[in-house]
């Protein structure tokens, strides 16, 4: 059982916000392109189906973790999967969280250099971002949750910006609906799934939730579904504007989408989008980074999490400046995203099956 203190407790409302913050990240930039390459004009259907699948997986995660109360990720995976496998899974998650954090930091560097600091070396920008992350996370989970309560408001303008380009869209670009066939739509779920990565952090954070109640399951699933609606609307609007042939030639369709939008008050809407997206992604990074630190702390049984916020920082920094260019960043992002298939799909289902096979919580408590 974990030992919580005032810096490691989050409320039910805060976990809802953190789920949304984790999922609305870098994936929104190139989601339209990755699904259009497979599902063409029906890419938005693939995104919707992926969201429904992930909403179901979120329900499975909450169900399983709730059966083990305040026992940590390492503890309940060790019970369900055996101790050696539990330690291996926890260690792999620590690596996954570190790699994912580093690639998101690099995405953030690319954005800042492209739109705001074109003459600043990437190693300088990355250093500043990593130092910022360490300062936010070193004081514990409660501090990160409060930070994301503020940063979630940066997502609201992003929703508004989606609808600015709708007058320029053509519904013909979305027809024929279902024209590529179910097999291609189903195949498009896989790249869609990568954009939602981050929701699996619930497996790590659940024990830290204070005053858990019956609405937690429904609220968590609703949080995932709200992101599903956001992503589906984003992909549908971009496909309706450009068509899948044009989107396939774009590295970041979301930025191109806003390039053609003109408003009375603001000439370059994409700059406004970049500002809000920047703050939103910082929230994403802090959660994933701290989740990795929590897992490492549980493996090596050290007193505090803050030690690992310093230990992992140099690793994050080096990995973030390693890719040579934007194309390499996207390639590495796709590879890391494939790891999410295990932690986001395979692991929750495996834990559920093992829980049903090995017995209820009472049996677990007897062994503890």
The predicted-structure confidence for 191-207, as pLDDT tens digits, reads as follows 888 888 888 999 999 99
Q: Which of 64-73, 84-93, 237-246, 260-269 has the lowest mean pLDDT?
A: 260-269
**Residue extents of the structural domains in the chain:** 12-354
337 pLDDT exceeds 80? Answer: no
Structure confidence at residue 2 (pLDDT): 57
- Read off the DSSP letter of residue 209: B
For the chain, what percent of residues have pLDDT higher than 70?
A: 92
- The arithmetic mean of pLDDT across residues 261-277, rounded, is 67
Sign (positive or negative) of CA dihedral 19, 22, 28, 30: negative
Task: Identify the band that residue 362 occupies on the pLDDT scale cut at 50, 70 and 90.
Answer: very low
Q: Which of 55-59, 158-162, 233-237 has the lowest mean pLDDT?
A: 158-162
- Read off the DSSP letter of residue 153: G
4 pLDDT exceeds 70? Answer: no
Q: In CATH, what number does 12-354 get?
A: 1.20.1740.10
The answer, yes or no, to whether the previous bond of 176 is cis (omega within 30 of 0) is yes
Of 110, 49, 48, 45, which is closest to residue 251 (Cα–Cα)? Answer: 110
The larger pLDDT score, comparing residue 160 to residue 316, is at 316
């Amino acid at each position: 059982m974990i030992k919580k203190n005032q810096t490691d407790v989050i409320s039910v409302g805060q976990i809802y916000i953190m789920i949304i913050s984790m999922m609305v990240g870098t994936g929104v930039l190139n989601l339209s392109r990755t699904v259009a390459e497979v599902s063409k004009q029906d890419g938005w259907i693939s995104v919707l189906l992926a969201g429904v699948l992930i909403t179901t997986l979120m329900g499975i995660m909450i169900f399983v973790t709730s059966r083990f109360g305040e026992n940590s990720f390492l503890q309940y995976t060790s019970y369900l999967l055996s101790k050696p496998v539990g330690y291996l899974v926890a260690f792999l998650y620590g690596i996954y969280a570190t790699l994912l954090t580093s690639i998101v930091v690099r995405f953030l560097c690319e954005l800042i250099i492209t739109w705001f600091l074109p003459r600043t070396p990437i190693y300088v920008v990355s250093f500043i971002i990593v130092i910022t992350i360490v300062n936010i996370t070193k004081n514990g989970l409660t501090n990160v949750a409060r930070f994301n309560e503020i940063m979630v408001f940066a997502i609201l303008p992003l929703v508004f910006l989606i609808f600015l380009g709708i007058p320029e869209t053509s519904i013909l670009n979305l027809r024929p609906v279902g024209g590529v066939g179910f097999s291609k739509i189903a195949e498009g779920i896989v790249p869609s799934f990568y954009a939602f990565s981050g929701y699996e952090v619930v497996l790590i954070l659940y024990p830290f939730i204070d005053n858990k109640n019956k609405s937690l399951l429904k609220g968590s699933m609703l949080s995932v579904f709200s992101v599903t609606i956001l992503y589906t609307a984003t992909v549908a609007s971009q496909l309706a504007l450009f068509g899948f042939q044009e989107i396939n030639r774009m590295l970041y369709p979301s930025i191109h989408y806003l390039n053609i939008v003109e408003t009375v008050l603001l000439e370059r809407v994409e700059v406004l989008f970049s500002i809000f997206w920047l703050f939103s992604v910082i929230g994403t990074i802090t959660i994933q980074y701290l989740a990795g630190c929590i897992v490492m702390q549980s493996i090596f049984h050290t007193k505090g999490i803050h030690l690992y916020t310093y230990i992992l920082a140099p690793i994050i920094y080096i990995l973030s400046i390693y890719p040579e260019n934007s194309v390499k960043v996207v390639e590495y992002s796709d590879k890391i995203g494939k790891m999410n298939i295990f932690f986001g799909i395979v692991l929750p289902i495996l834990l559920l099956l093992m829980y049903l096979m090995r017995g209820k919580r009472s049996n677990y408590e007897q062994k503890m």
